[in-house]
Amino acid sequence: MKLVACVKTTPDTTATVKVENGKPTWGEAPLVINPWDEYTVEAALQLKEANGGTVTAISVGGEEARIALKHALAMGADEALLISDPALKPVDPQGIALILAAVLQKLGGVDLAFFGRQAIDDDSGTTPAQAARLLGWPALTLVSVIKVDGSNLRVERAIEEGRQIVTARLPAVISLVKDIGEPRYPSFMGIRRASKIEIPTWSLTQIGIPAPASVVEYLSVMDAPVREVVCELVTGANPQEIAEHLADKILGEKLL
């Protein structure tokens, strides 16, 4: 099977993100593979192990995109592909969907394209569905279990009400939730291999599309308002008394 894992580089989840000079910044916090995309790679590797095939990791961006690709390689992806182009300005998730759909077309013969449910920087969570729509492939989003039998696909999707069990034919787009399984750690050998491997780069010209323009304008960004709370510690002579004081205070807020 030809399996593709679409990945992105983001600041680490522990980063303190602040707006400085009109842009989000995260100080010394490291850039890492988007945490959701670790599940993307994990799902692709699991399927390769079960059904055979190759896993290609793809990322769109500048030099920073190599961080996510290297991580995917270290986890065990067979190859990586960087889509980078001087004409490519920072673009919104819909622009990324356009590029990825074109890349998936260009690669040819792809059976499954895996995505994380969202990137933890922009938090849009729309790229998988949009790429699928552009390709005319089924969008199987928020998937927790995957089974492939020939060209038939059966997945479980995590929806608000529980799980929806869906069947479709390949090729398809799949986005993952955590239930797919804990992502494996890169092995020592994997890290060594990833550091040596040459990652090919495709320009937009090679893909055959113009640089997409953002359809959403980001007018400004601001820090989330600081929660001005002073914690009132509730005390009492014994747990019962503490509980009664606390219950009265909570009910006094009239939020129930």
Partner 1 sequence: MNTLVYIDHFKGEALPASWEAVGVAKTLGTVTGLVIGSGLEALTKSAFEYGVDEILVAEDAALTDYRAELYASTLKQAFSERNWDVLFFPTTSRGRELAAMAAIDLNTGVLVDVVALEASGERITAIRPTYSGKVLAKVTSSLKPQIVTLRGRAFPKPSPQPGKSGTVTKIAAGSGALTEVEGYSTAEGGVSLTDANVIVSGGRGLAENQSAQLPAGLDAKQGEIWRAQHGFTMLKEMADVLGGAVGASRAAVDAGYVPYAMQVGQTGKLVSPNIYFACGISGAIQHLAGMRSSKLIVAINKDPDAPIFKLARFGVVGDLFQIIPALTIAFKQRLAK
List the interface residues with partner 1, window 26-45 (CB under 8 A). 35-36
Supply the minimum distance, in Å, between the C-beta of residue 137 and partner 1: 7
Q: Which two tokens stand for residue 31?
A: 């850039």
Nearest CA among 36, 25, 18, 30 for reference residue 158: 36
Supply the minimum distance, in Å, between the C-beta of residue 230 and partner 1: 8
List the interface residues with partner 1, window 59-118 (CB under 8 A). 92, 94, 97
Supply the minimum distance, in Å, between the C-beta of residue 107 and partner 1: 20
Selected from 44, 158, 174, 176, the binder of partner 1 by CB under 8 A is 158
The yes or no reply on residue 20 touching partner 1 (CB under 8 A) is no
- Between 48 and 163, CB nearer to partner 1: 163
Supply the minimum distance, in Å, between the C-beta of residue 111 and partner 1: 15
Nearest CA among 113, 95, 133, 102 for reference residue 206: 102
CB count within 10 Å of CB 111 equals 17
- For partner 1, what does the binding mask look like between residues 201 and 220, x meaning CB under 8 A? -------------xxxxxxx
Instruction: Tell me, rounded to whole angstroms, the distance of Cα 241 from its chain centroid.
Output: 47
Sequence-ordered list of residues with C-beta below 8 angstroms from that of 108, at least 6 positions apart, any chain: none
Supply the minimum distance, in Å, between the C-beta of residue 99 and partner 1: 14
Selected from 50, 89, 179, 203, the binder of partner 1 by CB under 8 A is 179
Phi, psi dihedral angles at 43 (to 5 degrees): -60, -45
In whole angstroms, give the CA distance from residue 145 to residue 37: 16
Under 8 Å between Cβ of 208 and 189: no
Q: Which two tokens stand for residue 210?
A: 């113009």
Supply the minimum distance, in Å, between the C-beta of residue 9 and partner 1: 14
In whole angstroms, give the CA distance from residue 12 to residue 35: 8
Selected from 126, 191, 199, 207, the binder of partner 1 by CB under 8 A is 126
Choose the stretch contacting partner 1; rule: CB under 8 A; options: 44-52, 159-167, 191-199, 203-211: 159-167
